[in-house]
Structure 1
């Protein structure tokens, strides 16, 4: 049985990780 909550958490986790990398690159470029 598929768990929607797990799928949602996975998507949020990936989104946060991806955003973190982008923010890291932007801040690294600023400084």
Structure 2
């Protein structure tokens, strides 16, 4: 369970970073796990 949460959080932070740097990115709620 902890690994899944940590994995999702890492992807969320990565998406946020990409959005801030490039001004674009996939919305977190539209990603499928």
Q: Which structure exhibits the higher relative contact order, with contacts defined as CA atoms closer than 8 Å and separated by 6 or more residues?
A: 2
The structure whose Rg is larger is 1
SS state at 1:21 partner: helix
- The list of structure 1 runs, each at least 4 consecutive aligned residues, that deviate by more than 2 angstroms after superposition, is none
What 5-or-longer segments of structure 2 have no aligned partner?
24-33
